[in-house]
Amino acid sequence: MLSRIWLTMALTTLAAIPMALALEGRALSTEEQQPDERSVLNGEWIFVEDRTAGRTLEQLSAPMASKFSLLVDEGAIVLNGHGSGHKDVRIALDGSVTERPDGEKIARYRGSWKDGAFEYEVAFERPQGEQGSGIRLIRRAFRPTSEGLLVMVTVDPPQGSTSTGLYRHAEDIPMPPLAKASIADLGWLAGDWVGKRSSGSSIEERWSPPLGGTMLAVSRSVNASGKLVGFEYLRIIEREGGLVYIAQPGGKTATEFVLTEHTASRAVFDNPRHDYPKRIVYELSSEGVLSATTGYMKGGTPRRFEFRREGQ
Element (H, E) at 28: helix 2-33
Give the CATH number, domain containing residue 205.
Answer: 2.40.128.20
218 vs 250: CA distance, rounded Å: 10
Same-domain pairing of 194 and 136: no
Same-domain pairing of 154 and 102: yes
**Of the ranges 16-20, 111-115, 141-145, 268-272, which one carries the lowest mean pLDDT score?**
16-20
Number of independent structural domains in the chain: 2
Phi, psi angle pair for 130, to nearest 5°: -90, 145
CA angle, 167 then 170 then 176, to 5°: 100
Same-domain pairing of 192 and 282: yes
Establish how many alpha carbons lie within 13 A of residue 226's alpha carbon, considering only the half-sphere containing its beta carbon.
Answer: 0
pLDDT at residue 28 is higher than 90: no
Same-domain pairing of 235 and 194: yes
Q: For the segment 167-194, what is each residue's pLDDT rounded down to a tens digit?
A: 999 999 999 999 999 999 999 999 999 9
Same-domain pairing of 124 and 51: yes
- Average pLDDT on 100-109 reads 86
Task: Answer with the one of 125, 144, 172 that is the final residue of a domain.
Answer: 172
- Residue 26 included in any domain: no
257 vs 271: CA distance, rounded Å: 5
Range of the domain at 207: 183-309
DSSP symbols for 115-176: TTEEEEEEEEEPPTT----S--EEEEEEEEETTEEEEEEEESTTTS-EEEEEEE-GGGSPPP
Same-domain pairing of 267 and 291: yes
* Confidence at residue 16, expressed as pLDDT on a 0 to 100 scale: 42
